[in-house]
Structure 1
Amino acid sequence: MPSRIRPAKLSLFDFFTGRNTAALNADQMDARELHEHLLTIGGADPRTKSGLNLRTAAGLIGVSRRTLERYLSGDRHPAPAVADKIRVASRKIAGLEPGIHDQREVTSLLETVAGRSDTTKSGINIKEAARRLKVSEGTVRRWVNQGKVPNEATAAKLRASARRMTNTKRGRQAATRQIRDSGMFNQPMRIDVIANQGPRGYGQGDYKRDRRTYFDLSADEAQDFQQAYIDGGDQAAQAYAEQMLSRRYVDDWQIDDFNVIDGGFTMRPR
């Protein structure tokens, strides 16, 4: 059976739009980036060979200290899902999570909120984005053309607006355009789920608990999974995931604490 882990909520919005996952950033994490993140997460320790407090970092990331040592030595490289966990943990500890620090995310969120336009260099409907976010068109152009990012308050407003847009099929199509265009779901995938989950008890007690589980998808199934989200939103995608987990583990598998804000899903090519 799957292992016990700390609880987390699920985020299909982030999952299917390539945010809070390793899906669109599957490059190997180099030693320099890894060292910077581990310094942020665990702090310094001059008594260790690496100069890092790897014991603390390992506990916060959810891997062993020995694994981090092997990453730093070059013996192994973090898998995309692990690299993503390290980046997310580093951003949260650094207090950066509320803001947006990735130009790709800015573009994707703006497209979700404002739609596309054939008359702009970026392909984003600049005028509509400015209207919805109550900022100037010049500000939006700086975000999409000059690599600038919104301040923390505007970033929160942009994310909230994008999530509201995913209440419609049209909004979900816009939100998932970038990851669909990347072809990530055109190949076999492995999906990891971290949540309160388990088989239904049917009056004999609740078998759900905090677990880490996974299921594999063929290329066709991966596209079906994404299409389920586009057609029916969070509930449809959750039902699809529960169906796949029921096949992988025990019949009538259920996922609790379903939410579109926090983490819970990661994906990687199989």
Structure 2
Amino acid sequence: MARRGRRRSRINASDLAGYGSVANGTVDVDRAARGLGVSKRDVRQAIRQAQAAQSNTFLRRISGLREADSAEGGSMRGMLQAVFGRGPRGGAVNARAAAQSLGVSQGTVRRWAAGTQQPSKGRLASIRAAARRVTTTKRGRRGATADFRSSTQGKQALRTGSKIWVSGEQGVGGYDQGYARDRRVANDISPEEIEALLRAYEDGGDEGLRKWMKEFFDDKYVAGWDFVTIDDFGIGTPE
């Protein structure tokens, strides 16, 4: 059912959930604009922002890089972390790898990551493009799944199985049946199923992972389960 309210200057994925599935890309732009009292441009922008946030969530949860920013492009430290990973001693960014690739000093990289210095427009564009490739190319996504497979948590999950959990507006029939609500669900997942999830992400990106999770929860959790929004997900104990 459409949600009506006073005209607002900014909308988000939760606002759009009354007009279709943000996760599945089925939001009715015309109805959302009328119901929310905003322009179609505002609705489309909110959809893009929601999709970018979801893409970053998938990347962070799979790679373990908690600040990685591939899709939104709002955090210099996050973009550098997405491209170059964390430092060998736990730093937010691998400054040595970034410096070698970008042709600057490690100190400059650290200042960029800290926000005390800004890169030139040309270097910023290059960093942003490299960050996007982390999630938009198969090679980039394989880097993220490799991080998962080599992590302590990933090795354990791939050896003994784990839990998969998803937070967001979801339910039987998703948006179409009207039973979706904001909740977190979890289910056991086997090592073989985790491998299938990782392959779905490698091969199909965000859309491939969404489809895999929909089919998994439809089969393993409740028949007909679908997502309106995916705000967070993970393998392991829910946070």
Contact 1:15 1:266 in 2 (8 A): yes
> What whole-Å deviation, never above 9, does each CA across 1:166-204 have from its counterpart, x for those lacking one?
10101111233322222514230101111111121796x
| 1:178 aligns to 2:141 (yes or no) | no
Q: Where does residue 92 of structure 1 map in the other structure?
A: none
CA RMSD of aligned residues (A): 3.9
* Structure 2 gap segments, 5+ residues each: 1-13, 15-49, 68-73, 86-93
| 1:12 aligns to 2:58 (yes or no) | yes
Letter paired with 1:214: A
The share of aligned pairs that are identical, in percent, is 25
Q: Where does residue 193 of structure 1 map in the other structure?
A: 166
| 1:237 aligns to 2:174 (yes or no) | no
TM-score calculated relative to the size of structure 2? 0.53
Contact 2:62 2:234 in 1 (8 A): no
> Paired residue for 1:265, among 223, 230, 233?
233
Structure with the bigger RCO (C-alpha within 8 Å, sep 6+) is: 1
Counting helix residues as a fraction of each chain, which structure ranks higher? 2
* Structure 1 gap segments, 5+ residues each: 1-6, 22-96, 113-120
> What whole-Å deviation, never above 9, does each CA across 1:194-231 have from its counterpart, x for those lacking one?
1111121796x422111110121111111211121111
Q: For 1:107 and 1:99, how far apart are their aligned partners in 2?
A: 6
> What whole-Å deviation, never above 9, does each CA across 1:9-32 have from its counterpart, x for those lacking one?
7421111111349xxxxxxxxxxx
Aligned to 1:250, what secondary structure does the other structure show? Answer: coil
Contact 2:83 2:134 in 1 (8 A): no
Q: For 1:266 and 1:252, how far apart are their aligned partners in 2?
A: 21
Counting matched residue pairs gives 161
Q: Where does residue 40 of structure 1 map in the other structure?
A: none
| 1:225 aligns to 2:197 (yes or no) | yes
Q: CA deviation at 1:107?
A: 8.1
TM-score calculated relative to the size of structure 1? 0.47
| 1:213 aligns to 2:214 (yes or no) | no
4+ residue runs over 3 A deviation: 7-10, 97-100, 105-108, 121-127, 137-140, 152-155, 157-161
Q: For 2:112 and 2:66, how far apart are their aligned partners in 1?
A: 18
Aligned to 2:65, what secondary structure does the other structure show? Answer: coil
